């Protein structure tokens, strides 16, 4: 594959911190006169079996040998999912582009780890694989996140703002001739964990949160966390470790029902999203990610945010991140920038991603 190619067929893989499952999307990209267009041809979310959920939830505490074995096993698992997906839809992809599953994200220590061995994926599906998109940027002094803004800029330029509601809420937009992006607050990573305490995977439509009552003290303490005092428009990212250190102890302080915690956290997330966006001129805000299906959360966001919200079709809602990681792989194969210093705070723009050829 060379720099002069104009058409790419790629399978994108995305596993988010909320552990909903593996998003897998077969996408096509077209480049005409330096303008990119795309289509999502097939997409599926393959739910994790309980065994993998438990492994991924607890892997950060494992010994080194177990960690490395899991990295390989998880890569083989992803490779098998890709092979089945290809067979099911009779596909002919050029390569696979995998985000992996984040276990550690501590950019202040120049550390970020997304498991899912690229060599194991390649062996499992007999295709070239691009993976490990974040580590170069982190070593260059960046946050290694968010990475989606390059795709927002080149594939979704008709929107003033692109908001994703996944494990974390993050946003990107064009400002003063550069792309700005950052994580805003936790969303599903916290709310799904609350639901798990009562045997639910998630709060369907936000109906449990809707029955709850805001705890003003908890809401105040959440909004006063130091992360939310960092300058707006500055590179900043969140990870599971931050949630464990900052959010979990706060929630544990209060003897509240799950409904009240969910109601309070929805309000918190909506307030932080509004704080991040309402200092900009009114524009068109694209909203994607699993959080879009939480009708109650969306009501709260609409209440607090001044912008016009656009909810796209189902494929874009569910597979935008898999689509963009497929696209990051295209840019890597073309040796073109796929990570922006204006977003991450790295020393310079860079081309992230390791390539494995089976």
Per-residue pLDDT reduced to its tens digit, 240-272: 899 999 999 999 999 999 999 999 999 999 999
- What pLDDT is stored for residue 18 in this prediction? 73
| Over residues 229-249, mean pLDDT | 92
Q: Are 270 and 300 in contact (CB under 8 A)?
A: yes
Mean pLDDT to the nearest integer, 152-162: 97
Task: State yes or no: pLDDT of 224 exceeds 80.
Answer: yes
Is it the case that residue 342 has pLDDT exceeding 80? yes
Q: With 70 as the cut, is the pLDDT of residue 88 above it?
A: yes
| Residue closest to 132 by CA, chosen among 145, 119, 118, 142 | 118
pLDDT confidence bin for 177, thresholds 50/70/90 = confident
Residue 1: pLDDT over 60: no
Biggest alpha carbon–alpha carbon distance for the chain: 61
What's the confidence (pLDDT) of residue 232?
Answer: 85
For residue 259, what pLDDT is reported? 98
The Cα–Cα gap between 276 and 221 comes to 18
CATH code of the domain made up of 149-315? 3.30.420.40
Domain ranges for the chain: 7-144+321-356, 149-315
Split at pLDDT 50, 70, 90, the class of 334 is: very high
Nearest to 114 by CA among 127, 98, 101, 130: 101
Torsion angle, CA of 150/111/129/97, rounded to 10 degrees? -30
Residues in the chain: 358
Rounded alpha-carbon distances, angstroms, from residue 236 to 106, 145, 185, 269: 11, 8, 10, 16
Q: What angle do CA 248, 253, 259 make, to 5 degrees?
A: 75
Name the 3-class secondary structure at 215.
coil
pTM: 0.89
pLDDT of 26 higher than 50: yes
Which ranges of 172-313 does DSSP label H, i.e. alpha helix? 188-196, 207-211, 216-223, 240-242, 248-253, 258-277, 295-304
3-state secondary structure string across 219-231: HHHHHCCHHHHCC
Which pLDDT score, from 0 to 100, does residue 4 have? 59
- Over the chain, what is the mean pLDDT? 95
Q: Is the pLDDT of residue 94 over 70?
A: yes
pLDDT for res 3: 54
Query: How open is the CA angle 195-289-129, to the nearest 5 degrees?
Result: 110
pLDDT at 294 over 90: yes
Return the C-alpha torsion angle 278, 282, 284, 288, nearest 10. Answer: 10
7-144+321-356 belongs to CATH 3.30.420.40: yes
Q: Same fold for the domain at 7-144+321-356 and the one at 149-315?
A: yes
Indicate whether 83 pLDDT > 70: yes
Tokens for 1, please give them.
Answer: 């594959």
Statement: residue 20 has pLDDT above 90: no
Whether 98 and 118 have beta carbons less than 8 Å apart is answered as: yes
Is residue 4 within 8 Å of 24, Cβ to Cβ? no
Does the structure show a pLDDT above 60 at 2? no
Residue at token pair 């705890």? 215
H helical segments located in 15-117: 50-58, 64-89
Q: How confident is the model at residue 302 (pLDDT cuts 50, 70, 90)?
A: very high
Q: Which residues contact 268 (CB under 8 A, 6 or more apart)?
A: 185, 219, 222, 223
């Amino acid at each position: 594959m060379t720099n002069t190619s104009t058409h790419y067929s790629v399978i994108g893989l995305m596993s988010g911190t909320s552990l909903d499952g593996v998003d897998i999307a077969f996408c096509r990209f077209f480049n005409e006169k330096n303008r990119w267009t795309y289509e999502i041809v097939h997409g599926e979310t393959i739910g994790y079996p309980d065994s993998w959920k438990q492994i991924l939830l607890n892997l950060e505490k494992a010994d080194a040998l177990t960690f490395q074995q899991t990295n390989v096993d998880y890569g083989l698992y992803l490779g098998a999912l890709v092979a089945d997906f290809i067979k099911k839809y009779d596909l002919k992809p050029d390569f696979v582009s995998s985000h992996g599953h984040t276990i550690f994200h501590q950019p202040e220590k120049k550390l970020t780890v997304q498991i899912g061995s690229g060599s194991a994926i390649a062996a499992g599906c007999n295709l070239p694989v691009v993976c490990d998109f974040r580590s170069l940027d982190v070593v260059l002094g960046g946050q290694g996140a968010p990475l989606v803004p390059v795709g927002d800029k080149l594939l979704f330029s008709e929107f003033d703002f692109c908001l994703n509601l996944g494990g974390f809420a993050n946003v990107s937009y064009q400002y003063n001739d550069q792309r700005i992006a950052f994580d805003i607050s936790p969303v599903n990573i916290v709310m799904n964990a609350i639901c798990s305490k009562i045997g639910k995977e998630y709060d369907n439509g936000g109906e449990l949160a809707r029955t709850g009552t805001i705890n003003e003290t908890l809401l105040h303490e959440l909004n006063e966390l130091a992360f939310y005092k960092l300058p707006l428009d500055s590179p900043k990212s969140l990870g599971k470790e931050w949630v464990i250190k900052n959010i979990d102890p706060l929630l544990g302080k209060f003897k509240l029902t799950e409904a009240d915690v969910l109601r309070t956290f929805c309000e918190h997330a909506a307030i932080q999203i509004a704080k991040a966006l309402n200092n900009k001129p009114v524009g068109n805000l694209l909203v994607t990610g699993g959080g879009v299906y939480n009708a109650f959360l969306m009501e709260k966001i609409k209440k607090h945010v001044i912008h016009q919200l656009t909810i796209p079709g189902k494929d874009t809602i569910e597979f935008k991140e898999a689509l963009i990681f497929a696209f990051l792989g295209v840019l890597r194969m073309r040796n073109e920038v796929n990570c922006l210093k204006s977003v991450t705070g790295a020393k310079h723009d860079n081309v992230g991603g390791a390539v494995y050829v089976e």
